[in-house]
Amino acid sequence: MNDSISALHLKRLMDAVTGCDLDNIEKIAEEALASGVKPVEAIQMGLAKGIKEVGERFGKGEAYLPELVMAANVMKKGAAVVEPHIPKGTDMGSLGKVVIGTVEGDIHDIGKSLVGTILGTAGFDILDLGVDVPAERFLENAAKEHVKILGMSALMTTTMVKMPDIVTALASKGLRKRMIVMVGGAPTTKEWAKEIGADAQAGDAVEASELALNLIKSR
């Protein structure tokens, strides 16, 4: 395929994400594949570049949360079209497995989902456990999936108290030393993370991605 044609379709994918074009992303993704763009390139060089740009704008205060949420939804919708075309067994160059979830008793989802989306574009393999996740499920997946990072989210002070229990349980099962533990959500702080034995606390999805990359590199 002509490189200029490929570049054009990749730019259209990127622009659809940065422009929050939810209505047309599926058509744009289908046209990219039909033109010969490789599925992995469509994700990494098109969709992921788009959400990365919006994330950088958000970090600089040049974009707001609704825009970041919409851009993430556009990326997910585009990826849903592309991913079935990725050959089985393709090496996506993952930086490692990340398990994330909102702790038990808490059903807030947006922040946690954004973290998963942006970490995914950074090169991590994401396992999102969803919301209202009991400690046992965090532990089960931490052990089974051999994760490099475990991320916990809470948006209420009444539910963030579940976090230290999970960190303690990880240690008791011999899992704590082999993984990075990150926490996030409105009531959490860097002091809280240190107090409960977590490695880091992130205030938003962009910071979470930066911290995760730095922590992985330092290990």
- pLDDT tens for residues 4-35? 888 999 999 999 999 999 999 999 999 999 99
Query: Which domains does the chain carry?
Result: 3-85 (1.10.1240.10), 97-218 (3.40.50.280)
Three-class SS state of 182: strand
Q: Which residues contact 187 (CB under 8 A, 6 or more apart)?
A: 154, 155, 156, 157, 160
pLDDT at 8: 93
0.85 surpassed by pTM: no
Residue 19 in tokens: 């422009």
Residue 174 in tokens: 């011999």
The region, left, alpha or beta by phi > 0 then psi within -120 to 50, assigned to residue 61 is: left
Residue with tokens 């052990």: 143
pLDDT at 88: 79
- pLDDT tens for residues 34-52? 999 999 899 989 998 999 8
pLDDT at 145: 72
Cβ 74 vs Cβ 20: under 8 Å: yes
pLDDT at 212: 94
- Residue ranges of the chain with pLDDT lower than 70? 1, 89-93
Residue with tokens 């600089």: 60
Residue 94 in tokens: 């993952």
